[in-house]
Each structure stands twice: as C-alpha cells, then as structure tokens.
Amino acid sequence: MKENLIAVKTFDFALDIVNFVIDFQYEKKEFVLSKQLLRAGTSIGANVAESEFAQSRSDFNHKMSISLKEANETRFWLRLFKHSKLNAECDDQLKNVDEIIKILVSIVNTSKSKMK
C-alpha cells in the first residue's frame, strides 16, 4: 500500500506540536494559549485520518477542508507564540504548517474539481 504523504506529514506535525506544547508548558507555565495550539495542531492530522475512510467524495472534501481550517488556525497560534512576549522559538513548526497548508489546498482544490 502506498504511503499517504499528507497523513504522514500531519501525524509527524501533531507529534511535534504535542512535544512543543509539553516543553512550553513546563518551561513557561503557560497553559491557556498552549491548549489552543495543541487542539488545533493535532486536529489537522485527526481529520486527515478520518478522511481516509470517508463515506463519499463530499465527506472527503469536508474532512480535508476542516483539516485546512485547523492548519490555518494552528499557523495563527504559532505566529502569536512567536511574536508575543512569549517569544517562542517555533520557526520549524511554522515552516511545516505552511507546507501542510499548501498540500491541503492542492488536495481540496483537486478533489472539488473532480466533483464537477
């Protein structure tokens, strides 16, 4: 079976976000924003995983669109962490989420065009 690139990337990203949040909470004792980042960052991969067993093309599009929205929200939280007084080192995570967003945009656009 061929490996699903977006599934692998979003799982690895979720793992990175979990570790980032654990370290951040331990070092900075900040829990409110980090929980938001954890929720959004892990939701990307969870929705991609759900899409692998979509019941229809429409269901697949819906799950991938949710993944895209969650990726964009994750980018928002990472930028907030970086540019606020929290001053988090998260350039790698920002680079990775931007790459995931590009892939998801392509998947969503291609899938929607196949429905027409």
Checking if the pLDDT of 2 tops 80, the result is no
- Check whether domain 5-115 has CATH 1.20.1440.60, yes or no: yes
Of 79, 59, 87, 113, give the one whose Cα is nearest residue 71: 79
| pLDDT category of residue 112 using cuts at 50, 70 and 90 | confident
Which residue from 74, 79, 11, 89 is spatially nearest to 41, judged by alpha carbons?
Answer: 74
Q: If pLDDT is split at 50, 70 and 90, which confidence band does 1 have?
A: low
Write out pLDDT tens, residues 26-74. Answer: 998 989 999 999 999 999 999 999 999 999 999 999 999 999 999 999 9
